[in-house]
Chains A and B, each alone.
Chain A
Amino acid sequence: MSDPTSEFIFSASETHAPPGPGVHTHLDARLESQAGRLALLRRYEPIMKFTRGEQFFPMDAETYIRCCSLWIKRPKEEPRQLIPAGQLTPDLLAELYQDEFGTVRYLQFTEPLKATEMAAMALRRTQARRKGDAKAGEDHVAAGGKGFDAGVFNAGTGRLARVGYTSRIIDALFSVSLLARGRVPGDLATAAAEGYHMLLAADDRHIYHGRVVEEGGWIVLQYWFFYLYNNWRSGFNGANDHEADWEMVCIYLAHDAGGHLQPEWVAFASHDYAGDDLRRRWDDPEIQKVGHHPVIFSGAGSHSSYFSAGEYLTELELKFLAPVSRLVDFVVGRWRAIQGPSDPDELPRPNDQYPASYAAHYGSAPSTPGAQASPALAPDAPAVSGAGSAQDPGFDPSSVLAIPFVDYARGDGFALGPGQVDAWSTPCLIDENTGWVRAYRGLWGLYTQDPFAGEDAPAGPMYNRDGSVRRAWFDPVGWAGLDKVSPRAALPATVEAQKAALRTRQLQLRDEVQEQQSFLRGLDVQAAAMRNQPHLQRSYLGTMARIEAVSRAVAQRQDEIAANDALLESLDRYAANIAGGLLGDPRAHIRRAHTPAARSDLPAGRVAELWAAISVTVLLVAFIVLFLVKPGVLPFWMATIVALFAFVEAGLRGTFTRVVGSFAVGLGVIAGLVLVYEFFWWVIGAIVLALALYILYDNLRELTRRSGTSGGSSTPPSASA
Chain B
Amino acid sequence: MSPVSGLPPAPAPAPPQLPQRSGGQRRWTVQLAAAVLAAQAVFFAGVLVWSFFDGHWLTDLELELLNFRLTIAALSAAHYVVIFGPLALLSLAGALLVLLRPRPGWVFAMAVQCVVLFLGLEIYFIERGDDIVELPILYLMMLGSILIVIFLNSPEGRLLLVRAAPPRDSHDRRLA
Task: Show the binding face of A for B, using Cβ within 8 Å.
Answer: 339-340, 342-344, 633, 636, 640, 656-657, 660-661, 663-665, 667-668, 670-672, 674-675, 678-679
**Interface SS majority for chain B:** helix
Taking a contact as CB atoms under 8 Å apart, the answer to whether B111 and A668 are in contact is no
Do B121 and A660 touch (CB < 8 A)?
no
Other A-B contacts than A636-B126, A656-B107, A675-B139, 5 sampled, CB-CB below 8 A, are A344-B161, A657-B107, A664-B111, A668-B146, A672-B146
Minimum CB–CB distance for B84 against chain A, Å? 17
* Contact of B158 with A671 in the complex, beta carbons under 8 Å: no
Q: Which residues of B contact A657 (CB under 8 A)?
A: 106-107, 161
A640 near B118 with CB under 8 A, answer yes
Chain A interface secondary structure, helix, strand, loop or mixed?
helix
Q: Report Cα–Cα, A343/B153, bound state, in Å.
A: 11
**Contact (Cβ within 8 A) B163 A671:** no
**What mask results when residues 135 to 176 of chain B are scored 1 for a CB within 8 Å of chain A, else 0?**
000010011011001101100001001110000000000000
- Contact status of A675 and B143, CB under 8 A, knowing A339-B153, A633-B126, A661-B110: yes
Which B residues are closer than 8 A to A by beta carbons?
A: 106-107, 110-111, 113-114, 117-118, 120-122, 124-126, 139, 142-143, 145-146, 149-150, 152-153, 158, 161-163
Chain A residues within 8 Å of B150, by CB: 668
- 26 A-B pairs within 8 Å (CB atoms) are namely A339-B153, A342-B153, A342-B161, A343-B161, A344-B162, A636-B122, A636-B125, A636-B126, A660-B107, A660-B111, A660-B114, A661-B110, A664-B111, A664-B113, A664-B114, A664-B149, A667-B117, A667-B149, A668-B149, A670-B117, A670-B121, A671-B117, A671-B146, A675-B139, A675-B142, A675-B146
List chain A residues, Cβ under 8 A from B163. Answer: 344
Checking A340, A656, A671, A679 against B120 with a beta-carbon cut-off of 8 angstroms, the contacting residue is A671
Across the two chains, which residue of chain A brings its CB closest to B125?
A636
Nearest-CB residue, chain B, relative to A679: B139
Known: A656-B107, A660-B107, A671-B117. Is A665-B149 also a contact (CB below 8 A)? Answer: yes
B29 CB to closest chain A CB (Å) equals 14
- Residues of chain A with a CB closer than 8 A to B110's CB: 660-661, 663-664
Task: Report B-chain residues with C-beta under 8 Å of the C-beta of A343.
Answer: 161
Please name all residues of chain A whose beta carbon is closer than 8 Å to the beta carbon of B146 when the two chains form the complex: 668, 671-672, 675
The docked-state distance in angstroms from the alpha carbon of A679 to that of B139 is 10
Smallest beta-carbon distance A658→chain B, Å: 10
Q: In the complex the two chains form, is B161's CB within 8 Å of A671's CB?
A: no
Q: Complex Cα distance A306/B132, Å?
A: 61
A671 adjacent to B111 (CB under 8 Å): no
- Nearest-CB distance from A339 to chain B (Å)? 7
Return the chain B residue nearest A656 by Cβ.
B107
A656 to B118, CA, bound (A): 18
* A670 contact set on B, CB distance < 8 A: 117, 121
Q: Which residues of B are found within 8 Å of A668, using beta-carbon distances?
A: 113, 117, 145-146, 149-150
B121 near A661 (CB under 8 angstroms)? Answer: no
Most chain B beta-carbon contacts within 10 A, residue among A344, A667, A674, A678? A667
- Let me know if A667 and B107 touch, CB within 8 A: no
